[in-house]
Homo-oligomer: A and B are copies of this chain.
Amino acid sequence: MSISAIEELAKSQLPEAQWEWVVGAAEHGRTFRRNIRQFSEFGLRPAVLAGITTPSLKSNWQGTEVASPLVAAPIGHLTQFHESGELGVMEACRDTGTHCVVSMHTRRNLELLSETAGSAGWSYQVYLYSSPDVVAQQIDRAVQLGATSIIVTVDSCHRSPSFGRQRLAWDARKLGQRDEVELPESRDDRVWTWQMLEQLIRRLRIPIVVKGIQFAQDALRARDAGAQAIWLSNHGGRITETDQSLLREIAGVRALVGPETTMIVDGGFRTGSDIAKALLLGASHIALGRPLIYGLVKNGGSGVAEILEIANRELALVLGSLGISDVRNAPKHGAQIFELPNAAAHIGD
């Protein structure tokens, strides 16, 4: 089965308004749909007779060996899709050696999740909703529970409406069980500046990943502020109708920040070739977001594990066809990817 087939299955099982909650994105949703389509705008040139039996997917997340460059992206409110919710995702990550990023909006208790984590470790994602002190407290709790890095999401404080979700209202906060503590009330994320983030990073003793970079200059600012890694993301197209393809930005950001900076990319990845394309362009890790929901809907944690296994299996096949024996060498194969001048010829595919 493919991730797209599991997506179709999930769509058929959810109420229309809940499905719209999943796929609803900023304004008309073009950016969300472009996330999916952008992969057909790049072509691959396979290389043969490289003598590769099984390409190695082993990667490194902030010093910890992980099974593959895949990462579970942070998604909250997951108990509305399956009673296991975020725990199912953590179990799937444990079982597949995948690094798991737990959302600040997790419904399942952080203590429980931390006990479930496997050798690939887990990270905690925070929004900057509150004062630096409160944010630091939230981070401290996660660090004490074993989070090996902190993902700071910085892209969401000016969120455009989704026209699709305006039509079909769905309040995710009211559905599903919760055994995690409630979040603090205040939501002051708009006041945050690069300077405030820099101060926060200096105060903490844990690697910080800045998630939600879409502008090359912001990647430099993040690095200068002390971030260990940069996460390119348009938040699944949910914040602003940018019409931008982040896949097209990877090479430019990589050139700007140099080969040593860790770069995570998310948005629209569904197949092995999708993932391989981003890696060849210079991404270090690929995060899967909505596909985790599709897996949960299908079969709880086992469904999520199935999603991760499919992605890893397909990725290995594409890497093999490209003559890449170790995923860490992907950036050296830049001559095997190119932007298509006639990409639009793929419309409808």
Contacts and interface: CB of A to CB of B under 8 A. Distances in A.
Interface of A: 1-2, 4-5, 26-30, 33-34, 37-54, 154-155, 157-161, 163, 166-167, 190-194, 196-197, 212-218, 221, 234, 239-245, 249, 271-273, 314, 316-322, 335-336, 339-349
A239 B48 CA distance: 12
B49 A197 contact: yes
A191 B51 contact: yes
The 9 closest A-B pairs by CB, nearest first: A158-B320, A344-B344, A43-B244, A51-B193, A241-B273, A45-B215, A158-B321, A44-B242, A30-B349
Contact of A240 (B44, B53, B244): B44
Number of copies of this chain that the complex holds: 4
Contact of A344 (B48, B320, B342): B342
20 contacts: A27-B272, A34-B346, A40-B243, A43-B242, A45-B216, A45-B244, A48-B215, A49-B192, A49-B194, A51-B190, A52-B190, A158-B319, A160-B272, A160-B321, A215-B336, A217-B335, A243-B273, A243-B346, A342-B344, A344-B345
Contact of A41 (B43, B273, B339, B345): B345
Contacts of A243: 39-44, 273, 340, 346
Nearest to A225: B49
A44 B344 contact: no
Contacts of A167: 5
Contacts of A213: 48
Interface of A is mostly: mixed
Given A158-B316, A241-B271, A241-B273, 16 more contacts: A2-B166, A4-B28, A5-B166, A30-B40, A45-B244, A47-B215, A48-B155, A48-B213, A50-B193, A51-B192, A215-B335, A243-B273, A339-B341, A340-B342, A342-B344, A347-B348
B271 A318 contact: no
A52 B158 contact: yes
Nearest to A4: B163
B346 A343 contact: no
Contacts of A245: 43, 340, 342
A305 B210 CA distance: 39
B158 A317 contact: yes
B240 A321 contact: yes
Nearest to A159: B317
B49 A193 contact: yes
Contacts of A271: 27-28, 160, 241
A59 B163 CA distance: 27
Contacts of A191: 51, 53
Given A197-B49, A273-B241, A345-B41, A321 B155 contact: yes
Contact of A166 (B1, B214, B244, B341): B1
A239 to B, nearest CB: 6
Nearest to A212: B48
Given A2-B166, A155-B46, A241-B271, A345 B348 contact: no
